[in-house]
Structure 1
Amino acid sequence: MASHFLAGEIQNAKPENATFHVIPVPLEASVSYGAGTAAGPEGILTASRQLELWDGTSVPANFGIHTADPVDCSGKIAKTLDRIEDAVAYALECEAMPLVLGGEHTVTLGALRGMKQARRKFGVVQFDAHADLRDTYEGSPYSHACVMRRATEDLNIPVFQIGVRALCEEEAVYRQKNEIPHLDARQLHLKGIPTHILPSDFPDRIYISFDVDGLDPSVIRSTGTPVPGGLNWHNTLTLLERILENRTLIGADVVELAPQSGDHASDFAAAQLVYTLLGLYETP
């Protein structure tokens, strides 16, 4: 595992002195097509060595980034989720913003449990090619295909979905029945990015869950299920900026990178996305 985020450019800050905690979670337990998500965190950390510290408006690295030890993903998934929850809760205890590096999308459930410990209302904005609203998949309620079902049904967290373009009938019915707001990829293509994206009653505190397959394969190809017709880079930046206008980013994850030999562009794009998210955090 590469030593830490932006290694070679900055020191790994002490957890109590850092504004950001980057938490690697190399989980690969329920991938259903292309494999390799266990190597995702390492791919992002390695690629981060090539990032510029100036992000176009500021230098997020100046506020201190602590990269935690990778979460132990051995054994039963329930134990792994507990460890993720503890790591995120610790970041919040340190008054830092947690950013989890996946691993498969299931890691988000552990992160959201950790966020819930703060007992402050928040909503999840999910960037994804898939709805991830199945109740079970391949016999497990903890599959990557079920993570947003667990968030909405088990944790009672409101979710807004962006970029979806592949979902099953069960998910479509569940989404309609539960009135889960969304801005799907086809709608974005036909109508463009609206000025106001989130409903007025959506929580002010925002957790971003970013499955990299939400981006078009021309941006990131190294992922388990690259679906055509996804978001381009600059539209994604605009979406993030408009989502967070008059709202507060409190945490995030970047998941489902599956590095492939010869495709360092995907790893770099994922690392750039991580740093972009750090730059959108309003530091105290």
Structure 2
Amino acid sequence: MNPNNNYAGIPDRYAQLEKAGVVLIPVPYDGTSTWGKGADRGPEAFLDASANMELYDIETDSEVYRQGIYLAPPITEDSSPEALVDAVHSTVKGYIKRNKFVTLFGGEHSLSIGSIRAFNECFEDLTVLQIDAHADLRKEYEGSACNHACAVHEAAQTTNLVQVGIRSMDAIEKTYMDQEKVFFAHEMATDDYWMDKVIDLLGDNVFITFDLDALDPSIMPSTGTPEPGGLFWYETLEFLRRVFEEKNVVGFDLVELCPNPANRAPDFLAAKLYYKMLTYKFSGEEAEEDEPADSGSVPGLATNFDDDDY
């Protein structure tokens, strides 16, 4: 149980928007998924697991929550996929302009259309690093361009999109894909240097969209569309640690947790993964013992966007 309704039950002084360096936005949306339903329950399961997670990280000897993590009100717009994307876009952009490190937890992958759009408008020369089992490059699906199957179509047109872990796609998606920037799971399995190759393709400013079905279903069965042959825990952490160390990660989202009440382990994996990603972002920048970090300017933030845009 979460005794104070803060992220992970952290003390109030680390959970206030004014002083927090990090914003976490839950997006309990499952409006366009086409097989396993339940991603709208993902944020609640993630937050419940987070509240029962140890907050000391052994690997880095740190407690990243001391940077301050503000749990934002959830985005609950569900009148249409387009309205959801618009709500995510405007909300994310607002927090970025307050110099916060913005993160999201879904919900299904269509929410990333809005988050990527906001980050692309706020950061110069953005790279989108998609870690996913599915290509998600359709221009339109089931009558909407804001479907989970279209999650990175816009990013492929407007950003430097690098795709990692792909092992399921429709033939039409090849027409939108830059195969020089796609790392298929079956090739990664025999390539000892795939991490180096990915990092070489990333620009300085990176937004990560992490679909949990990128992970192997033996460790992450709780997704709407599990695919065999995915990433495992320690190789995922090694890769993420290197990305955070070598690039300026400007934000990230985690999507597609479809919780199963009979198996809570995937919920805890998602909670731990989120916390690890924050830990890698702020490793070496831990706040003082008694005060959360005061958010200053965000590295890489553009200065030419319009206040009226959000």
Taking structure 2 as the reference length, what is the TM-score of the superposition?
0.85
| 1:110 alignment partner, one of 102, 108, 114 | 114
Which residue of 1 is the match for residue 95 of structure 2? Answer: 91
Correspondence list, 1:72-151, <5 A: 72-151=76-155
Provide the rounded CA distance (Å) in 1 between the counterparts of 2:102 and 2:123. Answer: 16
Provide the rounded CA distance (Å) in 2 between the counterparts of 1:258 and 1:157. Answer: 28
Report the 3-state secondary structure (helix = DSSP H, G, I; strand = E; otherwise coil) of the residue aligned with 2:198: coil
| 2:24 alignment partner, one of 22, 30, 40 | 22
Provide the rounded CA distance (Å) in 1 between the counterparts of 2:176 and 2:120. Answer: 23
Aligned residue pairs, count: 279
Question: Quick check: 1:10–1:61 contact (8 Å CA) kept in 2?
Answer: no
Shift, 1:102, TM fit: 0.6
**Residue deviations 1:208-255 (CA, integer Å, cap 9, x gap):** 100000000111111101101100000101111222332111100000
Provide the rounded CA distance (Å) in 2 between the counterparts of 1:267 and 1:41. Answer: 9
Matched, 1:152 2:153: no
Which residue of 1 is the match for residue 258 of structure 2? Answer: 258
**Structure 1 ranges of 4+ moved more than 6 A:** none
Matched, 1:10 2:11: yes
Provide the rounded CA distance (Å) in 2 between the counterparts of 1:81 and 1:266. Answer: 26
Which residue of 1 is the match for residue 164 of structure 2? Answer: 162
Shift, 1:119, TM fit: 4.3
Letter in 1 for 2:20: A
* Identity within the alignment, %: 34
- Structure 1 stretch 78-87 or stretch 253-262: which is displaced more? 78-87
Which residue of 2 is the match for residue 34 of structure 1? Answer: 36
Letter in 2 for 1:218: S
Question: Quick check: 1:84–1:107 contact (8 Å CA) kept in 2?
Answer: yes
Report the 3-state secondary structure (helix = DSSP H, G, I; strand = E; otherwise coil) of the residue aligned with 2:207: strand
Shift, 1:127, TM fit: 0.7
- Structure 1 stretch 72-81 or stretch 216-225: which is displaced more? 72-81
Which residue of 1 is the match for residue 241 of structure 2? Answer: 241
**Residue deviations 1:100-136 (CA, integer Å, cap 9, x gap):** 1110101111111221332422111111000001111
Provide the rounded CA distance (Å) in 1 between the counterparts of 2:168 and 2:109. Answer: 16
Report the 3-state secondary structure (helix = DSSP H, G, I; strand = E; otherwise coil) of the residue aligned with 1:245: helix
Shift, 1:45, TM fit: 0.6
Provide the rounded CA distance (Å) in 2 between the counterparts of 1:199 and 1:223. Answer: 27
Provide the rounded CA distance (Å) in 2 between the counterparts of 1:165 and 1:16. Answer: 42
Provide the rounded CA distance (Å) in 2 between the counterparts of 1:78 and 1:132. Answer: 17
Gaps of 5+ in 1: none
- Structure 1 stretch 245-254 or stretch 59-68: which is displaced more? 245-254
Note closer, same or farther for the CA distance 1:117–1:174 as it changes in structure 2 (3 Å cut). Answer: closer
> Considering only CA atoms, is the larger Rg found in Structure 1 or Structure 2?
2
Shift, 1:93, TM fit: 2.2
Provide the rounded CA distance (Å) in 1 between the counterparts of 2:15 and 2:180. Answer: 39
- Structure 1 stretch 122-131 or stretch 235-244: which is displaced more? 235-244
Provide the rounded CA distance (Å) in 2 between the counterparts of 1:96 and 1:63. Answer: 11
